[in-house]
Amino acid sequence: MNPAVLNEVMALPDAQKLELIDKLWESISPESDTGEISEEEKRLLDERWEKFLKNPDSALSIEQFEALLANRRK
């Protein structure tokens, strides 16, 4: 990527960056190879799932997650 373009993108307001992310995400073909999940990633997902099953109350509700995300965007 051209460093000048990257600097220009990084200087955009957050709302415009998020809009750009959405457009880029939508432009990715569903047929494109997004890569396989590595064994390490599978292990980590399994560990997290087991941890959740042992203590489901440790998970955030969608409302809690959205509030956390909103606070981080401030």
Confidence of residue 54 (pLDDT cuts 50, 70, 90): very high
pLDDT at res. 18: 94
Q: What is the DSSP string of 27-49?
A: HS-TTS---PPPHHHHHHHHHHH
Mean pLDDT of 55-65: 92
Look at residue 25 and give its three-state secondary structure: helix
Q: What is the pLDDT of residues 26-49, one digit of tens each?
A: 898 777 766 788 999 999 999 999
